[in-house]
Amino acid sequence: MTRPLSVAIAGLGTVGGGVLMMLRDNADIIAARAGRPIAVTAVSARDRNKDRGVPTAGLRWYDDPVALAADPAVDVVVELIGGSEGVALALAEATFAAGKALVTANKALLAVHGAALAASAEERGVALAFEAAVAGGIPVIKALREGLAGNHVSAVAGILNGTCNYILTQMRERGREFAEVLADAQKLGYAEADPSFDIDGIDAAHKLAILAALAFGRPVAFDQVHVEGIRRISAVDIAFANELGYRIKLLGIARQTEAGIEARVHPCMVPQTVPIARVDGVFNAVVAEGDFVGRVMLQGRGAGAGPTASAIVADLIDIARNRFTPVWGASASELSTAPSVPMSSHVGPYYMRLMVVDRPGVIADVTAVLRDLGISLESMLQRGRSPGEAVPVVLVTHETKESAMREAVERIGRLPTVMEEPTLIRIETE
Amino acid sequence: MTRPLSVAIAGLGTVGGGVLMMLRDNADIIAARAGRPIAVTAVSARDRNKDRGVPTAGLRWYDDPVALAADPAVDVVVELIGGSEGVALALAEATFAAGKALVTANKALLAVHGAALAASAEERGVALAFEAAVAGGIPVIKALREGLAGNHVSAVAGILNGTCNYILTQMRERGREFAEVLADAQKLGYAEADPSFDIDGIDAAHKLAILAALAFGRPVAFDQVHVEGIRRISAVDIAFANELGYRIKLLGIARQTEAGIEARVHPCMVPQTVPIARVDGVFNAVVAEGDFVGRVMLQGRGAGAGPTASAIVADLIDIARNRFTPVWGASASELSTAPSVPMSSHVGPYYMRLMVVDRPGVIADVTAVLRDLGISLESMLQRGRSPGEAVPVVLVTHETKESAMREAVERIGRLPTVMEEPTLIRIETE
């Protein structure tokens, strides 16, 4: 057997502890599958004395995570610090400069600096592995980058944020409002004290940028992703969705269109009958559509110490076996230059929910705006009656261009009988 | 760029034609992802003049497929002949003897001779790749062998035969009997003229043997798989399943139990709420449960030229990139020697459907047998009444040992008021 693969871990929080535990508990099969033992030899974390449930004695301890890269006895650095800038970025650069492989769970780093980091890794011929950055332990990176590698992928979509999916599921199952469910999720540890990163869609957008780069073989382009979160979804929208045969999910969707690649994260109405509509709670799922393979879906736990450790250890086994794949599936010079298309060009059916004063003539005003913009309606629903007060009205459109819908939202929002800014949810039927 | 990977294809049926087409149509991205072009240079097939939708001019043509292995300009042989013996086996052995890699879609070959072939491949240090052998284009082999490689897998299960899943789905959706749906499926090309291989569970058992070997890191053991098909499932069972909150699926299940590894293919009742219950029609799905990753499910098209070609091309790209994985995940000397347990030791709840003469005392006789064998009932259902004629009666048991259930089936089948052999369907609640 070859000598052990020597691993340094930067960041010993929940995930770092999980990696230590998995490498210890499953050392036998990991060594068999890696062709050699995988041993953590150096670590960096703020608190040396915290109980992590795994012994850390005998490890070389660094106060400065960036110093791990220079440790001559380290072969691979596992970066679990997080954040797209600062220490995480410095450590990644130092690791490549030292000619070593990097394994990371850091989606922000990859989404923002993925192209430059890939160039650095490629220049040194070292691996940059990030299975843990998207959908936890579900091997979606491997599936897209290797398993479907012979396909032209036309679309990739997924439930990429477990916190949002948990909140939307709870809202539906218990008929409760967003703010209440969020507060509960924070108590249960399913949502952060500052939940913005999750519920405003940023985390999902980082992951989608990574999936889109892999699916379409082009450099990662986070700044081209349209992002909306779930704050404006109300219990009344969930009830209407149910009535219309849909479920509301926060999806990340990247699709090859005739004009270029469209990449967007926002709440969607999806038919109750499609498999992704059934993925509930903290679970994640990714669907990819290839020209030869057709539609493939993967689902499982998208977060947590165990699933994330599983992905990181899989990357370490690949590195131990010298199984090498270019960061974005092909070398930088071979990547596609397909353009991105702006969200304003998106075309699809829309759900628009208004709160209007319940009195004659209101619907006529609203539908006149739609007529003027050439937007055609598939259906209209109104719930309850309370003359002179606010009632919800739902309009479902046929295929419409996003720019026209935005204009409609603005004009309708200005009508004196419309009480608040209309809520717009895109309908995804494919 | 390195020189092209030179590929020989043995067997140019639907799948072989699909591989030629994919390598031609997607040559650009395949070369980028493989790091070099992948070129078919030699083929063997019965009919040189058949129109395959792709040009075959310029290829070296062999009448004897085994001769492909000896072609000095060939790097990899793709075996698409099928069958566990004869030409396919001879070609595999000749390929390894020539020090070349083999890619195959042949589950029978791997299930029956997988251990010996892995030893041959390992001795020469060449790849034996078989992503296409299980679940078509869904990258389940890669997911289990690499993506979840750090996990102790406790169970793997799947819908592994699209023909059976199609038949069971049609029976449920249309309320029709097995024989009628099978006849239609044959007309539509979803079932073979001789359907036994599919509907008697043999094809699924080959695939399960492969999955179990990967999941538990042990040599493939097809002869240890318990196999039952779907011939005895009747429309009345489907209706009862629905009433009880279940769907009937032909599943392959391999599970680590305290006594050893249990591997079985048979019709199952699964709760309507679990994801695999929703996988309908010709689709396949595989669920794996790992100690760190939790439960992961993959689903997609399990057969057809496109999906199968996708899997074969992914294997070719791995070989072109020199990404090497031992056949069963670890080298032969590192595989587990966990014993198999016989089906008679299986424990679980059971559904038993009887056709009995509708007259007093019948149920008392049946339940006396169960009492004598220590089998406890969870529920009993009876449909319709027609005094003096046959009516169905369904018994659902609590956890029971298979050996006791078999004895019960035999004794109950001998009762004069029971009109035909009872139908037994195992209930899977996990």
Q: Examine the pLDDT at A109 and tell me if it is beyond 60.
A: yes
Least confident piece of the model among A331-340, A407-416, B382-391: B382-391
Mean pLDDT within B14-28: 96
| B127 and B192 inside one domain | no
pLDDT at A16: 95
Asked, for residue B322, whether it belongs to a domain, the answer is: no
Which of B146, B292, B310 is opposite residue A307, by nearest beta carbon?
B292
| B199 and B244 inside one domain | yes
pLDDT at A232: 94
Asked, for residue A254, whether it belongs to a domain, the answer is: yes
| B167 and B197 inside one domain | yes
Q: Are B18 and A292 an interchain contact pair (Cβ–Cβ within 8 Å)?
A: yes
Query: 3-class DSSP state for residue B367?
Result: helix
| B48 and B128 inside one domain | yes
A319 to chain B, any CB pair closer than 8 A? The answer is no
User: Residues of A173-199 as b/e, b for ≥16 C-beta within 10 angstroms?
Assistant: eeebebeebbebbeeeebbeeebebbb
Number of structural domains (chain B) is: 3
| B386 and B375 inside one domain | yes
Pairing of strands A423-427, A350-357: antiparallel
Q: Which of A199, A195, A224 lies closest to A212, judged by CA?
A: A224
Residues of A whose CB is below 8 A from B16: none
Q: Are A331 and B32 an interchain contact pair (Cβ–Cβ within 8 Å)?
A: yes
This model of the complex carries an ipTM of 0.95
Q: Are B317 and A146 an interchain contact pair (Cβ–Cβ within 8 Å)?
A: yes
Boundary-marking domain end, from A133, A149, A169 = A133
B138 to chain A, any CB pair closer than 8 A? The answer is yes
Residues of B whose CB is below 8 A from A18: 292
Distance, in Å, from the CA atom of A331 to the CA atom of B381, rounded to the nearest integer, reads 63
The radius of gyration of chain A's CA atoms, rounded to the nearest angstrom, is 24
Could you tell me the CATH number of the domain that includes residue B370? 3.30.70.260
Residues of B whose CB is below 8 A from A149: 29-30, 33-34, 313-314, 317
Distance, in Å, from the CA atom of A30 to the CA atom of B148, rounded to the nearest integer, reads 10
| B340 and B221 inside one domain | yes
Catalytic residues of A: 207
Q: Which of A290, A314, A323, A292 lies closest to B318, judged by CA?
A: A323
| B21 and B123 inside one domain | yes
Structure tokens at A384: 């309850």
Q: What is the mean pLDDT of chain B?
A: 94
Annotation-wise, does A13 bind a ligand?
yes
Q: What is the mean pLDDT of chain A?
A: 94
How do residues B60-75 score in pLDDT, each as one tens digit?
999 999 999 999 999 9
Q: Which helix (H) or strand (E) holds A239?
A: helix A235-244
| B153 and B297 inside one domain | yes
How do residues B227-268 score in pLDDT, each as one tens digit?
999 999 999 999 999 999 999 999 999 999 989 999 999 999
Residues 243-302 of chain A with CB under 8 A from chain B are 275, 278-279, 290-301
Q: Are A22 and B292 an interchain contact pair (Cβ–Cβ within 8 Å)?
A: yes
How do residues A16-34 score in pLDDT, each as one tens digit?
999 999 999 999 999 999 9
| Nearby residues of A308 by Cβ (< 8 Å), 6 or more positions away | A15, A18, A105, A132, A136, A137
Q: Are B321 and A325 an interchain contact pair (Cβ–Cβ within 8 Å)?
A: yes
Residues of B whose CB is below 8 A from A313: 149-150, 292
Structural contact between residues B374 and B403, judged by C-beta atoms closer than 8 angstroms: no
Boundary-marking domain end, from A293, A324, A343 = A343
Asked, for residue A406, whether it belongs to a domain, the answer is: yes
pLDDT at B219: 87
**Residue B117 pLDDT grade (very low, low, confident, very high; cuts 50, 70, 90):** very high
Asked, for residue A310, whether it belongs to a domain, the answer is: no
Nearest CA in chain B to A277: B275
Residues 3-32 of chain B with CB under 8 A from chain A are 18, 22-23, 25-26, 29-32
Q: Examine the pLDDT at A159 and tell me if it is beyond 80.
A: yes
Asked, for residue A308, whether it belongs to a domain, the answer is: no
Q: Which of A19, A138, A146, A308 is the best mutation test for B, with the most CBs of B within 10 A?
A: A146
Domain span at residue A388 reads 346-427
Could you tell me the CATH number of the domain that includes residue A237? 3.30.360.10
| B360 and B415 inside one domain | yes
Q: Which of B233, B236, B309, B219 lies closest to B268, judged by CA?
A: B233
Distance, in Å, from the CA atom of A86 to the CA atom of A99, rounded to the nearest integer, reads 20
Q: Which of A101-115, B37-51, B351-365 reaches the highest mean pLDDT? A: A101-115
How do residues B191-205 score in pLDDT, each as one tens digit?
888 999 999 999 999
Nearest CA in chain B to A326: B33
Q: Which of A5, A19, A33, A286 is the best mutation test for B, with the most CBs of B within 10 A?
A: A33
Which of A147, A151, A324 is opposite residue B321, by nearest beta carbon?
A324
Mean pLDDT within B317-346: 93
Q: Which of B20, B30, B146, B274 is the best mutation test for A, with the most CBs of A within 10 A?
A: B146
Annotation-wise, does A15 bind a ligand?
yes
The radius of gyration of chain B's CA atoms, rounded to the nearest angstrom, is 24
pLDDT at A1: 52
Asked, for residue A90, whether it belongs to a domain, the answer is: yes
Asked, for residue B307, whether it belongs to a domain, the answer is: no
Least confident piece of the model among A66-75, B52-61, B365-374: B52-61
Structure tokens at B204: 């699924």
| B340 and B353 inside one domain | no
Q: Examine the pLDDT at A367 and tell me if it is beyond 90.
A: yes
Q: Examine the pLDDT at B1 and tell me if it is beyond 60.
A: no
Boundary-marking domain end, from B133, B168, B199 = B133
Mean pLDDT within B350-358: 93
Distance, in Å, from the CA atom of A149 to the CA atom of A158, rounded to the nearest integer, reads 19
Residues of A whose CB is below 8 A from B26: 150-152, 291-292
Q: Examine the pLDDT at B2 and tell me if it is beyond 90.
A: no
Residue A355's CB is within 10 A of a number of other CB atoms, namely 18
Q: Examine the pLDDT at B213 and tell me if it is beyond 80.
A: yes
Helix axes A162-174, A178-188, angle to 10 degrees: 120
Mean pLDDT within B90-108: 98
Which of A311, A316, A323 is opposite residue B324, by nearest beta carbon?
A323
| A165 and A122 inside one domain | no
| A255 and A366 inside one domain | no
Burial zone of B416 (CB within 10 Å; 0-12 exposed, 13-18 middle, 19+ buried): exposed
Q: Are B330 and A33 an interchain contact pair (Cβ–Cβ within 8 Å)?
A: yes
* A426 strand-pairing partners: A268, A350
Q: Which helix (H) or strand (E) holds A227?
A: strand A226-227
Structural contact between residues B28 and B63, judged by C-beta atoms closer than 8 angstroms: no
Q: Are B143 and A143 an interchain contact pair (Cβ–Cβ within 8 Å)?
A: yes
Q: Are A149 and B313 an interchain contact pair (Cβ–Cβ within 8 Å)?
A: yes
Structural contact between residues B20 and B51, judged by C-beta atoms closer than 8 angstroms: no
Could you tell me the CATH number of the domain that includes residue A77? 3.40.50.720
- How close does chain A come to B320, measured CA to CA in Å? 11
Catalytic residues of B: 207
Asked, for residue A312, whether it belongs to a domain, the answer is: no
Q: Which of A296, A322, A337 is the best mutation test for B, with the most CBs of B within 10 A?
A: A296
**Residue A361 pLDDT grade (very low, low, confident, very high; cuts 50, 70, 90):** confident
